[in-house]
Amino acid sequence: MIEQGLAWHILSEDFDLLVEYLMCAECIGLGMSPHARFARHLIERTWTDMQFLPGPTFDPKSYREKAGAAADAYAVEHMYHTNFVWGMCCAVGLLNPTEHARCEPTDEGSDRLEQLLALALSITGTKASVHSPWFAAITSAPLESWELESVLWHAIAIEAARRDDWSRVAMLACMAKTLRLPPAGTLQELDEAQARRRRYS
């Protein structure tokens, strides 16, 4: 469930919940799983670029329109909790500092990765785009290509199901066989959801 939660919020751009799931992963020993490593990479990259983590309701345009005390108040209201939980997550990470040794990103690309990204961008109603933080984090992700494909498959499959784009779900279910994903977790839930839809349609 924790890895599925991480996958969900990689694409949702809700850093509040992504960090909370990452903290859970740290606490139960999943801090070095591919899902957690990609989530941490995404968070650290966003922090480096912006010097803060935007909360789910933060709007850069609204922030730029304000000045002085009004800008400060807006920042506190819309970013306080996200940055607070990131601080808590970093503190939890100090319990086992060797866990987060940096690893080099893979240079390998694959047709499967391109197919996954094309599917993500074509989901009906998604806000995923080439400008999304998770999209920009792919090229420097410290994962092997097969790990990255697996993490993104889960994230994209959950996004497609949440948006009721069942044609994309079907495509992703077929792709799961190519990726040799275990028939459990997200894949099993998607199969069950599709079976329910067929039963009641």
pLDDT of residue 105: 54
Task: Quickly state the pLDDT bin for 184 (edges 50, 70, 90).
Answer: confident
Give residue-wise pLDDT tens across range 104-147.
555 445 788 999 999 999 999 999 999 999 999 999 999 999 89
In this predicted structure, what is the pLDDT of residue 102? 52
Angle 166-179/186-200 helices, nearest 10 degrees?
140
Instruction: Please state, in angstroms and rounded to a whole number, the distance separating the CA atoms of residues 11 and 15.
Output: 10
The predicted pLDDT at position 109 comes to: 54
148, containing H or E segment: helix 145-162
Burial class (CB in 10 A: 0-12, 13-18, 19+), 17: middle
Q: Which domain holds residue 116?
A: 2-200
Report how many domains make up the chain. 1
